[in-house]
Amino acid sequence: MIRRGQSSRLIALLLWGGLVIGCGTSAPKPRELEAYETLRKSTNINEVSKRSPDLVAGAEKLGDHAKEEWESDSLEESRRDALMAQIKLKTAIALTETDQLKARIQTLSSQQAQAEEEYATVAKDLASEKEKLALLEKYLEARKTADADKQRLSQQLGSEQQKAAAEQQRLSQQLASEQKISAAQLSLRTADTVEAQKYARAEYSAAADMLAKAEAELKQSDFSGAQASAEVAKKNADRAAEISKPLYEQAEQASQNKARDEALSRDASGIAGVTVHMERRGDLQRLVLIVPELFLKRQPSIAPGHDTVLDSLASLINKYPSYPVQVVGFTDNRGKSAELVAVSAARAQAVYSALAARGVETKRLMTSGLGGDEPYFDNKTASGRAKNNRVEIVFLYH
């Protein structure tokens, strides 16, 4: 986890690097970050924090990260963190408003009960049937008013819940679009590892063009268009990698690649507390390092006591600089799919930040969250679910 001093030094280094290159952060503030800041200013944070302190703290932390990433020209990461901050803050606001509405309904119910009690007490003391009738009419009127208020508040609560569901659906579509774009980016970077721009120029250029189109459509909130363009970009990138791979492999020394891969596997197996296995997906061979139990329950932040394993992972990644590395977050299977995906993506981002703080080049890293998909351990047991709350560090072999 990054300490405040370390974060300041990191930001200073990034700013110094921008000055050396000769250009500063010129990109406009992302819409997601502006939306989050507007929502933050218009919200009674103190009141919302009392109800959901963890969500508000998580939102502010992500919002701070998003601002730092924008200032360091990491726009993609800034948008992602700002989006996650919006989700958390809006969820906290919705919970606060729900509690307020429920409290109002409860107050009305209490008032109604009190009115009934008053009627029962007064009714015993009244000798006149006329007074009893007047009291009954008063009680009935109070009950009618209370019922009307309860119905109105219930309708209001239903409307707010519908609005929250619609907003969650929109954010889910945006997140799905960003995941498809990330998949296309990963495929394009994988194609870079086999020099597809040289060996499959047409397919590579088509993939790059479609990826740029998908990113533009995402900015315009055309989520269906962005997803379709990203899928085409990924197919072209995969095709470019497929064409380039045999040509690239002919130009490389196979024995050196094999020795390097074996050395990486041996070094990875030597990290305590990490499970290592090889797998192949299509033509892509992957070395997967499973790091379990980095997180507590649904927390997106890394739990204390894991500095040693994070140091070892950062050293391993820096030792083998030619491998693209994917950081994939996971959860167990308890909860709604969209929420689990959001939590897993936040976890991957937390490990990404921890590795960056330890000197890993961020351009080599790609993050994603798969929620409760692809469980490695049995979700039927508490131990298995705890281990499924994991992060996988994936080295992509050439």
Quick check: is 4 in a domain? no
* Amino acid residing at 69: E
293: left (phi over 0), alpha (psi -120 to 50) or beta: left
Quick check: is 220 in a domain? no
Quick check: is 62 in a domain? yes
Quick check: is 130 in a domain? no
| Joined tokens for residue 289 | 């390092």
pLDDT in tens, 189-248: 999 999 999 899 999 999 999 999 999 999 999 999 999 999 999 999 999 999 999 999
Quick check: is 238 in a domain? no
Question: How much is the pLDDT for 84?
Answer: 94
CA-to-CA distance for 75 and 264, rounded, in angstroms?
32
Question: How much is the pLDDT for 126?
Answer: 55
- Positive/negative CA dihedral, 53, 78, 73, 191: positive
Q: 75 by DSSP, 3-state: which?
A: helix
Of 78, 94, 125, the residue at which a domain comes to its end is: 125
Question: How much is the pLDDT for 387?
Answer: 87
Q: 269 is in which domain, residue-wise?
A: 254-398
CA-to-CA distance for 394 and 391, rounded, in angstroms?
10
Question: How much is the pLDDT for 1?
Answer: 46
Quick check: is 168 in a domain? no
Between the two ends of the chain, the Cα-to-Cα distance in Å is 31
Model pTM? Answer: 0.40
Question: How much is the pLDDT for 371?
Answer: 92
Regions in the chain scoring below 70 on pLDDT: 1-26, 122-123, 126, 253-254, 398
Phi, psi of 365, rounded to the nearest 5 degrees: -105, 140
Phi, psi of 113, rounded to the nearest 5 degrees: -65, -40
H helices present in the chain, as ranges: 4-21, 31-41, 45-51, 53-71, 75-125, 129-193, 196-199, 201-219, 223-251, 254-269, 307-319, 337-357, 382-388
DSSP string, 157-192: HHHHHHHHHHHHHHHHHHHHHHHHHHHHHHHHHHHH
Of 125, 148, 169, the residue at which a domain comes to its end is: 125
Question: How much is the pLDDT for 285?
Answer: 87
Q: 297 by DSSP, 3-state: which?
A: coil
Quick check: is 322 in a domain? yes
Phi, psi of 72, rounded to the nearest 5 degrees: -95, 15
Note whether 121 and 259 are same-domain residues.
no
Number of domains in the chain: 2
329: left (phi over 0), alpha (psi -120 to 50) or beta: beta
CA-to-CA distance for 190 and 208, rounded, in angstroms?
13
CA-to-CA distance for 170 and 178, rounded, in angstroms?
12
Residue with tokens 């890293």: 365
Quick check: is 212 in a domain? no
Of 125, 146, 179, the residue at which a domain comes to its end is: 125
Any idea what the CATH number is for the domain that residue 265 is in? 3.30.1330.60
